[in-house]
Amino acid sequence: MEITPGTAAAPGSAAVDAAPCIGVFDSGLGGLTVLAALRRRLPHARLLYAADSAFAPYGERDAAYVQERSRLLTRFLLAQGAQLIVVACNTATALAIAELRAEWPGLPFVGIEPAIKPALAARAEADGPVGVLATSATLASGRFRALLAQHGGGARVVLQACPGLVEAIETRGPQAPRTLELLRRFCLPLRDAGCTRVVLGCTHYPLLADAIRDVLGDAVRLLDPADAVAAQAERLARALPPQARGGAGLQAWSNGEAALLLRVAAACALPIEGVLALPQESPEAA
């Protein structure tokens, strides 16, 4: 999905009758951007969100660490009644989703990947290079490299790792001076390279869309796959049986700062009224 100032993704045209229960997890606050897209497409679903903020950032961890946290979060959401899991984290998708699918072969998973394909497909010859902002782990992953090799062709792509940016968002907030200072540092190479399209390769980064435009200019096109993820979840949700635990609603858990999550949720137009404590270790699904 391209992020356009002042607009929102259109809701899905088909409603889901059975009020499915969808679990969503991220290393912290970034997945709220995906949760918002899911709610637009599936307003009648029961949506569960787990923010693993105490263990963020995933993007500077090794694969084994990310896989273990992803397993624990999946077990937790299953214990709450989730029928489908959305991995709303680029790093966890890159490093862990294959292992999750192998451990739960009958459970539908939806992951998220940087929007390289649409960024390059829509690029004209006169356009500048495509920039990618992502975590170090995402850029180094085999999954991302394969994606780039498949769709990159002869196009020039500028890859920019953003170490420390997710941690700043999680601990200080998207608008904190330290967060914006880091963001400017990471955006300047893309500006200097003349990038006209920028792929937001971490779910935290759409929270900084206005600040990115302040550095790169209003003409830059920012691409975020959140609505494509929500569309895939909507398709899979049609095959889910009715959920017996209740109708539509939002519930969030976090092992980080609840007040910051609520502020970011409000900015994403998510009516989350309270945040429950996310256990450090997650129970087996009932």
Which residue is catalytic, options 21, 162, 202, 268? 202
Buried (b) or exposed (e) across 136-154, using 16+ Cβ within 10 A? ebbbebebbeebbeeeeee
From CA 84, how far away is CA 239, in angstroms rounded?
A: 10
Token pair 């910051």 is found at 260
Q: What values do phi and psi take at 57, rounded to 5?
A: -90, 145
What is the rounded radius of gyration, in angstroms, for the C-alpha atoms of the chain? 18
From CA 66, how far away is CA 27, in angstroms rounded?
A: 9
Which residue is catalytic, options 89, 162, 195, 268? 89
From CA 284, how far away is CA 224, in angstroms rounded?
A: 33
Buried (b) or exposed (e) across 57-67, using 16+ Cβ within 10 A? bbbbbeeeebb
Q: Is 18 in contact with 34 (CB distance < 8 Å)?
A: no
Annotation marks residue 202 as catalytic: yes
Annotation marks residue 89 as catalytic: yes
The residues annotated with a catalytic role in the active site are: 89, 202
